Amino acid sequence: MCLPCLAQIVPLDGLLCSRCGEKLFGAYLGTEQEPMCGICRRAAPPFRRAVSYGAYAGALRELVHLLKYQQVKPAATLLGSCLSQAVSALELAGELLVIPVPLWTGKRKSRGFNQAEEIARAFMRVVPSSGTAPTSIKLDTTSLLRQRETASQTGLTRHQRRANVRGAFAVVKPQAVAGKPVLLIDDVMTTGTTAGECARVLLRAGAKQVFVATVARATKEVQSEQAFAAAAQQRGPQGHA
């Protein structure tokens, strides 16, 4: 990527939910004065905390797409570096198991790789030199399995998303995760339903706690801007559909 595009890839700013990382627009306060969105206040997600590097828009979105849809694997190196910066906010210490969100077997074969795994491997190469690494960190790509295909989450309501991924994941090596804190890695987080389902089965298998880290976050602010831009494009220059 050229330098001007790289300069556009910046961290999320402003007030963020202390649990799911959603951008907040008001004084949402939870217990102990931690900022928390309304959804997390009503029903806390299974994971302890989710962090993302930047908003799923602009140059960062294009970089994710280069990796995910155009198979430009070197993009994972930069994405892994961004992820490392996001993870540093978690201040994790001690033993840590890093698990990328798995792809369905058929999709992995057609794509040739799992983008979350590529980002996780790039992250693992960066962490030892970042000065923020836990004392023991291990990548695990075999314990968590996606056991059935799921429909695209795009356009689904939160309730439909939860139903779509319910039962889609399984821990096939519970002994590997038992008693360990897990860092779950993915490329993009939208509503957190996929991460939540993965965290649920990991905790049920005995994981001590689950943290989530993604390169990008599809915040409500960005989604609103994209919807407005799409509507304006449909109306055309004269303001008519």
For 57-70, what is each residue's pLDDT tens digit?
999 999 999 999 99
Give the H or E element holding residue 54: strand 49-55
pLDDT at 54: 96
Would residue 47 count as lying in a domain? yes
pLDDT the model gives residue 228: 42
Residue carrying the six token digits 């190196």: 77
Answer for the pair 144, 120: CB distance below 8 angstroms, yes or no.
no
Number of H helices, E strands in the chain: 10, 7
d(CA 6, CA 175): 41
Q: What is the pTM of this model?
A: 0.86
pLDDT for position 82: 95
Beta bridge partners of 209: 181
Side-chain-side CA neighbours of 177 within 13 Å: the count stands at 29
* Residue 27 lies inside a defined structural domain of this protein: yes
Number of domains within the chain: 1
State how far the Cα of 42 lies from the Cα of 75, in Å rounded to an integer.
38
Look at residue 241 and tell me if it is in a domain: no
Residue 52 located in a structural domain: yes
- Those residues of the chain that have pLDDT short of 50 are 30-31, 223-232, 240-241
pLDDT at 238: 55
Domain carrying residue 173: 3-235
**Residue 133, φ and ψ in degrees, nearest 5:** -75, 145
